[in-house]
Amino acid sequence: MDTRRVRTPVLVIYYNRYLTNQDCALFVKRVARRYAVSTLERLVGVGDHTTRRAAVFALSLLGDYESNAVLGRALVDRDRGVRSIAESGIRELWCRAGSQHERETLCRIVNLNDERRHEEAARLASELIRSSTSDIAEAWCQRGIAHYHLGQYDAAIRDCSQALEINPYHFTAAAGMGQCYMLQDNPVAALEAFRRALRLNPGLEEVRAQVVRLQRSLKKD
């Protein structure tokens, strides 16, 4: 009988300590000293659920937009905890695209939308889209959010579609398109958009409820 003990990965030790002390800065410092981003990306797809949770959490803090696909795949992990951490983390990565100045501008756009200053958000997002040297999906999505709140649903759909073209894991853009189609009284297109959002992120319970309601409604018709 093999009595050798399985060693707990150092990353998991750091993660368990974080869960106890909630010291995010210390967790980041310890992980950054020991792990490369590429190693964290590999660990997202291997090991038990605790290792995957730790890797996804670390990557969400230390990675940038280049890790988008890795966290995008983690959204459909078999473990609910991994999926939940990935959903929160990937939203952060979406705002880490482009140069430092572009990231700061994107942050301002997000804040403007949060403050319901949608006209300003749309204007600044348009400036960022025009001036950026790279395609920033979140800039398109944020402009789509602004257009949605301004009642400009066709424009919002176009922006969300472009966000998905750049970033095929952008479940928020897919869900946003669904909401716009609902307000345009186009349930078939809305259902397709909501289903796409769910394929990307099965944890979107409100979207799942929308899908059920639309399916029932279309079945009656």
Query: 142-184, pLDDT tens digit by residue?
Result: 999 999 999 999 999 999 999 999 999 999 999 999 999 999 9
User: CA-to-CA distance for 97 and 111, rounded, in angstroms?
Assistant: 17
87-91 contacts: CB < 8 A, separation 24 or more?
A: 87/201, 87/203, 88/60, 89/56, 89/57, 89/59, 89/60, 89/61, 90/60, 90/169, 91/172
Domain membership flag for residue 125 = yes
Mean pLDDT, rounded, for 67-76: 98
Q: Are 176 and 142 in contact (CB under 8 A)?
A: no
Domain co-membership, 43 together with 110:
no
From 94, 111, 127, the end of a domain falls on: 94
Q: What is the CATH number of the domain that holds 35?
A: 1.25.10
What per-residue confidence (pLDDT) applies to 47? 86
Q: Which residue segment(s) compose the domain that 42 sits in? A: 10-94
pLDDT band at residue 6 using 50, 70 and 90 as cut-offs? low
Domain co-membership, 126 together with 175:
no
Domain co-membership, 15 together with 86:
yes
Which residue type is seen at 124?
A: L
Burial readout 17-30 (b: 16 or more C-beta within 10 A, e: otherwise): ebeeeeeeeebeeb
Q: What percent of the chain has pLDDT over 70?
A: 97
Domain co-membership, 46 together with 69:
yes
* E-strand stretches of the chain: none
Domain co-membership, 42 together with 74:
yes
Q: How many domains does the chain have?
A: 3
Domain co-membership, 15 together with 81:
yes
